[in-house]
Amino acid sequence: MRRTLVVVVCLFAFYIATAQDYYVPPAKRSPATGEKGSTGTSTGKFSFGLSAGPAFASKDFGSKNVKNSFWDFTSTDSVHLQGFAKTGFHFNITASYLISENFGITGMFGNNSNPFDLSTFATTVGPPFTSSFPQFQTSEYLIGAFFSTLVRDKIKFEANIMIGAVTTTYPTLDWTYPVTYPAGYGVPAGTVVATTQTYVFNPGASFAYSFGASFKYVLSEHFDLSLGIAYTGAEMHFRGWTDTYTYTAPGYVFSSNPITHITDITQMSIGLLKPTLGIFVKL
């Protein structure tokens, strides 16, 4: 009887030991790979990337309407500029750090190269303007916050909002026209002198804001492919400009001292819409 009881107790203890339910937590998605059960060593919190694409100009930056502006020589308004900017090229370098599962901080340096539509400008304004470098170079220095979430396996959605500074240069423009000089100007009376009037604007700088969104496809533990779009806006101010006259006649070349409008501030609103394709490295 005692032996039977011992056997029963042993069997019951073995049954209890093997029948326990152990809690196994569900596999989590790796922030680095976007897959369940990943054992990679990357946390994916820090990333940096390079993106590029077209830069579409808007607001005054892309406007060709010069009425009542700096380039309307019948207007008293000498403040507002039109950019005549065409679609150009944009690239940026971005660095991001996830503070929590979905939110982080980000910083971006970007550059935009937009051609100046010189032929349309000359036709619209009237005089035959030329330029040695008809191009806008606009740089962006931005910092802000971003949101990131995994929408499905290997696909992430991100949105950001940033503020900072934008700088740009307005193209130097030359306007050449003939002037017939009377006596007393250092050339024979009746001499036709080619006069070139050169407009040089000081580089502009302004506060800027930006917002954007992107979808990222997880290529591997350390690499993402990004398809995004962003918009940057600014009210650009150019503090001062210079007006220089150069005169050329047969046997004569001379120019006046530059006329500096140091207290004049011209302005131009800038809008840049930038769809991009990029590659990101996660550490």
Whole-angstrom distance, CA of residue 250 vs CA of residue 145: 63
Sorted by sequence, the CB contacts under 8 Å of residue 39 that are 6+ apart come out as none
- Tokens 């993402």 identify what position? 224
Q: Which two tokens stand for residue 201?
A: 């604007």
- What's the pLDDT score for residue 189? 78
- Tokens 């035959």 identify what position? 128
Global pTM reads 0.81
- What's the pLDDT score for residue 41? 43
pLDDT surpassing 50 at residue 160:
yes
Q: What is the mean pLDDT of residues 147-161?
A: 95
Is residue 275 within 8 Å of 223, Cβ to Cβ?
Answer: no
Name the residue type at position 163.
I
Q: How confident is the model at residue 180 (pLDDT cuts 50, 70, 90)?
A: confident
Q: How confident is the model at residue 82 (pLDDT cuts 50, 70, 90)?
A: very high
Domain regions of the chain by residue span: 43-170+205-239+265-282
Q: How confident is the model at residue 247 (pLDDT cuts 50, 70, 90)?
A: confident
- Tokens 């009377």 identify what position? 182
Q: Report residue 32: phi and psi, to 5°.
A: -85, -40
pLDDT surpassing 90 at residue 5:
no
Q: What region does 251 belong to: left with phi over 0, alpha with psi -120 to 50, or beta?
A: left
Question: Which range has the worst mean pLDDT, 108-112, 126-130, 199-203, 219-223?
Answer: 126-130
With pLDDT > 90 as the criterion, what percentage of the chain qualifies? 58
108-162-203-197 Cα dihedral, nearest 10 degrees: 110
User: pLDDT tens, 32-48?
Assistant: 445 444 434 456 799 99
- Which H, E and C letters describe the chain, residue by residue? CHHHHHHHHHHHHHHHHHCCCCCCCCCCECCCCCCECCCCCCCCCEEEEEEEEEEEEEHHHHCCCCCCCCCCCCCCCCCECCCCECCEEEEEEEEEEECCCCEEEEEEEEEEEEEECHHHHHHHHCCCEECCCCEEEEEEEEEEEEEEEEEECCEEEEEEEEEEEEEECCCCEEEEEEEEECCCCCCCCCEEEEEEEEEEECCEEEEEEEEEEEEEEECCCCEEEEEEEEEEEEEEEEEEEEEEEEEEECCEEEECCCEEEEEEEEEEEEEEEEEEEEEEEEC
Q: How confident is the model at residue 24 (pLDDT cuts 50, 70, 90)?
A: very low
Q: What integer best gives the mean pLDDT of the chain?
A: 84
State the fold for domain 43-170+205-239+265-282.
Porin (2.40.160)
Q: What is the mean pLDDT of residues 4-10?
A: 43
More confident residue, 5 or 160: 160
- What's the pLDDT score for residue 168? 96
